[in-house]
Amino acid sequence: MFSRVGLVRISCMFMLAAMAASVSHADTLLKITSAGSQGGNDSLSWSQKGPDQTILPASFSATTALSNSVTVGLSAPNSIISVVCTATPCSWTGTGFTSGDSLLWTSDAGNGGSGPVALTFGTNVSGAGALIQANTPGAFTAQVQLFNGATSLGSFTQASDTAGDPLYLGAVDQTGANVTQVVFSLTACSGVCTDFGVDTVAVNGSGSTSTVSVSPGSLTFPTTTVGSTSASQTVTVTNTGSTVVTISSIASSGSGASSFLIPTNSCGSTLAIGANCTFTVAFKPTTAGPLSAVILVADSASGSPQQVNVSGTGQASGSTITFTPSSVAFPTTTVGSSSAAQTVTLTNTGSTSVSLTSVTSSGANASSFIVANKTCTATLAAGASCTFSATFKPTTTGALSAVALVTDSAPGSPQSVPLSGTGQSTSVTVSLTPSSMTFATTTVGATSATQTATLTNTGTTTVNISSIASSGTNASSFLIPANGCGSTLTAGANCTFTVAFKPTAAGALSATILVADNATGSPQSISVSGTGQAAGSTVTLTPGSLTFPTTKVGSTSASQTITLTNTGSTSVSLTSGVSSGTNASSFIVANQTCTATLAAGASCHFGVTFKPTTTGPLSAVVLVTDSAVGSPQQVSLSGTGN
């Protein structure tokens, strides 16, 4: 299960009257059995006392991570620092500890026995805990004691499993930083108690905090008939601080408090550090109309009482609403202009009055639909009607939609009336030519000749130009040296800008030139591409031409070889080697040994065969596209079909 290498330990029993095995503690102390529940905001690491196998005196000083001074008292000198790892040469291996941790192992029987380990803090703390394991295999019982000066605040014990695996033991004083000393020891072992190891100590420092979080912070319930109860919703209370929280009460408050119930509550009177509990809230409206309240969680944490806002709408039994028309479609309207208003009628078709809360536009395009001229008041009697109007004022082009949202006390609230319309451009149109630019192969760092783009206002109103810039993966390789386009372009006018290629790397590069404006289809774009070649990159193709013997149509000649040699001083990127030209289909390029990169001085080969598709003289070329000067290189091909 575990072993410690390189340490000689002599078993002993120990007698320590001040550390009797009986468990006692004040009501203010809380036993901790996991590091997560400790909630420490500080720690004491043994690595500060030296590397693996460091021998320690009977008393020494240490410092916590937050600079709290600690005096460590042992029963005798010759305790040792042991580093956990999975195999030698580390001095400790075993389950339960993290590889790389430094443990303090108490001195052996010949040097005073197996403890205790007493930590005396320079500044009071509210608790501490650590992972503990006895050196002798088998079950053991660990003890933690807390003191304020000479006064014992109490103690706890914890038994390990039968295998004697490490256990976590700690304690917290719930009333605050009253602890001056924490003592760890063993009270029982399977056989004779020997020395024991203490891992990094988690400390609840004097800066311990009492905080809780409540989630969610608000609950909205669906419209519910008066006297009926909605489905419950759950709220979680979590102790996010480093002290135990006392919970006094959880109750609804406010004008609508009687309509919000708390059917279940798993939160007791205390909530441990890191723990959480839940309660549920249900909506049982006592009257029709909008209702709201707050659920108050009264506790000992800062910010108490915590609160959850709750709301819902009560509906009278038998209340119903209808809309005429049930949806509204507007005609196509120019962006920024307003359509004629259309009227929607609400009718209370039920047997009881309905409370109306609001009528608003809602949805992704709500800003394009204006709801106004409402004749509806806070209450709509049974059989009565009221109206509101909707107007379409598109903020952008294209198909737009939203809803008129009616919140009331009737079933299904909020009800919605779909609204739709299409926004059209105000004749702001442009053309950008050319649609693409291809630049000649250019040495990396050099700048090509420029090419010119023309932007023309083909509409009837002035175009506003926001920016002209390159975009995409290789945007930095395409420059705009000159820009004759200002911020506006009047109807019928045009302007120009130039684009140059300055490759930042060898190989095929591409980007997009984007013209951002207020015209339809913005941004306008030009696709740009070019190949960067490394400085000093040159290749040769041999032979410069291939002539095939006269070959019967459909038959295949013997293969002839083309050799590609990198005659430059840098590697060359190869993109493709293909046949091209009018009779390209009669010449087959195959058996290539060329890969994506050809090193300086290296060669590779293409095999070419002639398979005429028709009679008579036929010709084509082999094109080799690469990053070298003069790309694409070519070899002339010819043959006669019969």
pLDDT at position 443: 87
Question: 32 and 171 in contact (C-beta within 8 Å)?
Answer: yes
State the Cα–Cα distance between residues 506 and 534, nearest whole angstrom: 5
The candidate with the shortest Cα–Cα distance to 270, out of 307, 241, 294, 295, is: 241
Tokens of 289: 């109309």
Q: What span, in angstroms and rounded, lies between the C-alpha atoms of 408 and 381?
A: 12
Task: Report yes or no: 626 and 572 within 8 Å, Cβ to Cβ.
Answer: yes
Computed on alpha carbons and rounded to an integer, the radius of gyration of the chain in Å comes to 42
C-alpha 169/C-alpha 433 separation (Å) is: 77
Nearest to 295 by CA among 335, 354, 251, 262: 251
Average pLDDT, the chain: 88
Q: Which helix (H) or strand (E) holds 38?
A: helix 35-38
Asked if pLDDT for residue 432 goes beyond 60, the answer is yes
Rounded to 5°, the CA angle 287-290-291 comes to 70
CA distances (Å), 269 to each of 31, 245, 277, 535, in order?
A: 16, 8, 11, 78
**Which residues, in sequence order, are bridge partners of residue 574?**
626
For residue range 376-427, list pLDDT tens digits in order: 988 898 889 999 999 999 998 889 999 999 988 887 788 899 999 988 776 7
Average pLDDT over residues 258-265: 97
pLDDT score at 87: 60
Q: What is the pLDDT of residue 8?
A: 32
Q: Is the pLDDT of residue 538 over 60?
A: yes
Helix (H) or strand (E) holding 35: helix 35-38
pLDDT digits (tens, 9 = 90+) for 288-311: 889 999 999 998 887 889 999 999
- Per-residue exposure over 560-590, b if at least 16 CB sit within 10 Å of its own CB, e if not: bebebebebebbbbbeebbbebebbebbbbe
**In the structure encoding, which two tokens stand for residue 455, read together?**
């932007």
Q: Which long-range contacts (CB under 8 A, 24 or more apart) does 628-633 make?
A: 628/441, 628/533, 628/537, 628/538, 628/539, 628/566, 628/568, 628/572, 629/441, 629/443, 629/533, 629/537, 629/538, 630/441, 630/538, 631/441, 631/531, 631/533, 633/539, 633/540, 633/541, 633/564
Under 8 Å between Cβ of 56 and 77:
yes
Q: How far apart are CA 98 and CA 240, in angstroms?
A: 25
Q: Six-digit token pair at 15?
A: 């007698």
pLDDT tens-digit series, residues 489-520? 998 999 999 999 999 998 899 999 999 987 87
What pLDDT score does 14 carry?
A: 30
The stretch 323-338 carries a mean pLDDT of 89
**What mean pLDDT do residues 106-110 have?**
74
- pLDDT single digits (tens) 267-278: 999 998 889 999
Least confidently predicted of 10-14, 309-313, 591-595: 10-14
C-alpha 378/C-alpha 390 separation (Å) is: 20
Would you say residue 12 has pLDDT above 50? no
Strand partners, 332: none
How does 461-483 read in b/e, with b if 16+ C-beta sit within 10 Å? eebebeebbbebebbebbbeeee
Segment 126-140 shows an average pLDDT of 92
For residues 66 and 143, the model is more confident at 143
Nearest to 83 by CA among 70, 100, 96, 107: 100
Return the H-helix or E-strand segment holding 37: helix 35-38
Question: Of 132, 181, 172, 195, which is closest to residue 152 (Cα–Cα)?
Answer: 181
Least confident residue range of 234-238, 252-256, 535-539 = 535-539
Higher pLDDT pick, 357 / 236: 236
